[in-house]
Chain A
Amino acid sequence: DAKTTQPTSMDCAEGRAANLPCNHSTISGNEYVYWYRQIHSQGPQYIIHGLKNNETNEMASLIITEDRKSSTLILPHATLRDTAVYYCIARIYNQGGKLIFGQGTELSVKP
């Protein structure tokens, strides 16, 4: 299983873009990069995923480097409600495509 590495915590000013990095240097060619976030004592919320190309949806953008060894999740205009733990996951095929959550990045959006 490809291991992902994320900073333990980050701060972001409200209204600014939040850029959350993730390293996945051992990712294999068929492993997707998924991002979820979890607000305290709630279930994880799906944000976005991608394989090679950059992706954008109504919540965020995902930038994956050409060598696929790292990626960045971008929240374009962070709000206080974006304060959460953000998990970067290299998704594998076995065990029903289980999600392996690491420690994640605790993002604090400050007024």
Chain B
Amino acid sequence: DGGITQSPKYLFRKEGQNVTLSCEQNLNHDAMYWYRQDPGQGLRLIYYSQIVNDFQKGDIAEGYSVSREKKESFPLTVTSAQKNPTAFYLCASSRGGVLETQYFGPGTRLLVL
């Protein structure tokens, strides 16, 4: 069953703690993306990667870090430098090429304790 998986579904972060959100895809897609969604808002791009071992900052990269060591995986770390991390985080992937259709995972909701 092909698709994009994100885990966990809910994640709680304590003040000053780094947390890592997982995103895995078995679609053989080259490109992967991380977006953030705040309540009642649209999505904003955090980071994207068009090929393994390469990634670029999006519009709101401050306080986040990523890695792309494997084609199927694109984990996102929310660092303590991100002062307002509470949001719904969405991972997407596409076949590569800037206008290929992006397909989304189910999302991870991050809450700060």
Contacts and interface: CB of A to CB of B under 8 A. Distances in A.
A95 B61 CA distance: 12
B5 to A, nearest CB: 11
Assign chain A's interface to a size class: 20 to 34
B45 interface: yes
Interface in B1-52: 4, 6, 31, 33, 35, 37, 40-43, 45, 48, 50
Contacts of A99: 35, 43, 45, 92, 102
Nearest to B104: A43
Contact of B90 (A43, A100, A102): A43
B88 A41 contact: yes
B99 A42 contact: no
A79 B37 CA distance: 26
Nearest to A42: B106
Interface stretch (A9-17, A44-52, A68-76): A44-52
Interface of A: 32, 34, 41-46, 49, 87, 91, 93-104
